Amino acid sequence: MKKKDIENKEEQKINEEEVVDNPVVNESEEPEQDSLKDAQEKIHELEDKYLRLMAEFDNFRRRVTKEKAELILNGGEKVLTELLPVIDDIERAKVNIDKSTDVESVKEGVDLILEKFIAYLKKEGVIAIEAVGKDFDTEYHEAIAMIPGQPEETKGKIIDCVQTGYMLNDKVIRHSKVAVAE
C-alpha cells in the first residue's frame, strides 16, 4: 500500500504543478471588476449631484441675500405711499390756515386729518396704548415722574400721559411716558 500512496501523492503533485503552470482566469474576477466599475460610476454620479446641489444652494443663498437687501431698502415704500394723502391734507390745511379767519373750521380740518392718519395706522396694526387711569406696567409704560400726595385709591396708577405709546401687532414699539401717583 505504500507504493500506491506514493503514486497517488506524485499524481497529486503533478496535477498541482499543472494548475500552477496553466493559470486559469478566475471567473469570479470579471464580476468583481464590473462591480468596481459600477461603484466608481456611482461615486462619480453622486459627486456630480453633490457639486450641482452645492452650486444651487450658493445661488439660492445669494438670491435670498439680494432679496433681503431690496426688502430692507424698499420695504417702507408701501407705508410711505399710503402716507402721501395725509401729507397732501396737511399741505391743504396749511394753505387754508393762512386764508381762514374761522378757527373752528381750521380745528375741524386738523381733527379730520388726525383721524385719517390714526385710521391708517390702525389698518397697519398700530394702536395707541391706553394709559391714564390704568395700573403702571413696565411692559407698556415708562415713568418719567412720580406724583406724591395723591389719594390712596390712585397709588400706582397713571394720572397723566406725557407721550402716547404705541404697539404694532401686539409688540410695543414705543412705551408711553407717564406720571404715576405715589
The H helix count followed by the E strand count for the chain is: 4, 6
127-182 carries CATH number 2.30.22.10: yes
Q: What is the pLDDT of residue 106?
A: 84
Q: Let me know: does 131 contact 143? Beta carbons within 8 Å.
A: no
The three grid cell numbers given for residue 44, joined into one nine-digit string: 462619480
Cα separation, 166 vs 11, in Å, equals 106
Q: Digits of tens for pLDDT over the chain (182 positions)?
A: 556 666 666 666 655 555 444 444 455 567 788 889 999 999 999 999 999 999 999 999 999 999 998 888 777 788 888 888 888 888 888 888 878 788 888 888 889 989 988 888 888 889 888 888 888 888 888 888 888 877 777 788 888 888 889 999 889 989 999 999 88
Q: What is the pLDDT of residue 73?
A: 79
Q: What is the pLDDT of residue 62?
A: 95
- The DSSP result for 32-87, as a single string, is HHHHHHHHHHHHHHHHHHHHHHHHHHHHHHHHHHHHHHHHHHHTTHHHHHHHHHHH
